[in-house]
Structure 1
Amino acid sequence: MHGLGELESAVMDVLWSASGTAMKVREVLDRLDRPLAYTTVMTVLDNLHRKGWVQRELDGKAYRYEPAIGRAEAAANAVREVLSTSGDPEGVLLHFARSASEWETELLRKALPRKRRK
């Protein structure tokens, strides 16, 4: 995900895949596909909390973490950031529209309501 490091993205994928279930550090660690120290995952989750990507609630002596925003919203925010920093948002959008697949084009047609011309 744009704006996140590789490990942060992997942790967010675990949280998004949990379908609304807040997770403790150990639970996230157990679902990652790489050997990491508990403290590494704890630090990543703390950083994600500080950045506003996750929210947490104390459960006994440990925090439970869950995404602060959904995957689709995060992706939309990333697109918005790319557009705002591109120097040519119109050109970027037009290039995307011209290069969009049939499936992407159909999704855009469904998502954008027809506007009445005056």
Structure 2
Amino acid sequence: MDAEGVGGEGETPVRRRGQGELEARVLSVLGGASEPVTAAWVLERLDAGLSYSTVITILTRLHAKQAVSRTGRGRPVLWEPVANEAGLAALRMRRLLDKQSDRDAVLSSFVSVLSSHDEELLRTLLADSGPDAPGTTPDRPER
């Protein structure tokens, strides 16, 4: 092995994909579909040199994260997005928050590091989704 621990002399190290990069690409492909599609359809459009089993694994992980839905019993299984890339990031953030014992401290810390633009956007979004907003239900009683 060479000094970098990857490949031999003269070989270019293979770049590891960032966490969630493939999931985001799969969601993007699914988002371009006009109806639920098969994993083979997704694979054809990814153009990433992936195997069919890798695509199935990614779709299954997205399904576990509730970012995609799966229809059909038996074959073929059809997939469609429930969340886009932003929705997937929001799901990740929510899962991280759910794991914390002191949610108030985590949220306070998060808000304290936002840019002024992001803070204003968050205030607007919260105001728009207040208790009287259509389709909302409070998670806990008001204090």
State, as a whole percentage, how many aligned pairs show the same letter: 36
Q: How does 1:1-118 map to 2 (within 5 A)?
A: 7-15=22-30, 17-18=31-32, 21-46=35-60, 48-49=62-63, 51=64, 52-58=66-72, 62-67=76-81, 69-71=82-84, 72-113=86-127
Question: Tell me, which stretches of 5 or more residues in structure 1 are unaligned?
Answer: none
Distance apart, 1:5 and its partner CA = 5.8
Q: Which runs of 5+ in 2 are unaligned?
A: 1-18, 132-143
Once the 2 structures are TM-superposed, how far is the Cα of residue 104 of structure 1 from its aligned partner? Answer: 0.8
Q: TM-score, normalised by structure 1?
A: 0.65
CA distance in 2, matches of 1:43, 1:94: 36
Give, in whole Å, the separation in 1 of the partners of 2:56 and 2:94: 29
Query: 1:83 Cα deviation (Å)?
Result: 1.7
Deviations 1:83-107 (A, max 9, x none): 2223332222112211111221121
Assess if the C-alpha contact under 8 Å between 2:68 and 2:83 holds in 1: no
Q: Which amino acid letter does the alignment assign opposite residue 18 of structure 1?
A: G
Taking a change above 3 Å as real, the CA distance of residues 42 and 77 of structure 1, as seen in their structure-2 partners, is: closer
Whichever structure has more strand as a proportion of its residues is 1
Q: 1:19 to 1:106 in 2, by over 3 A?
A: farther
Q: Residue 107 of structure 1 aligns to which amino acid in structure 2?
A: L
- What is the DSSP-based 3-state SS (H/G/I as helix, E as strand, rest coil) of the residue aligned with 1:100? coil
RMSD, aligned CA: 3.0
TM-score by length of 2: 0.56
Whether the 8 Å contact between 1:20 and 1:66 is mirrored in structure 2 is no
In structure 2, do the counterparts of structure 1 residues 63 and 84 end up closer, same or farther at CA, with 3 Å as the change threshold?
Answer: closer
Q: CA separation in 2, counterparts of 1:90 and 1:106? A: 19
Which structure is higher in helix share? Answer: 1
C-alpha separation in 2, matches of 1:20 and 1:41 = 19
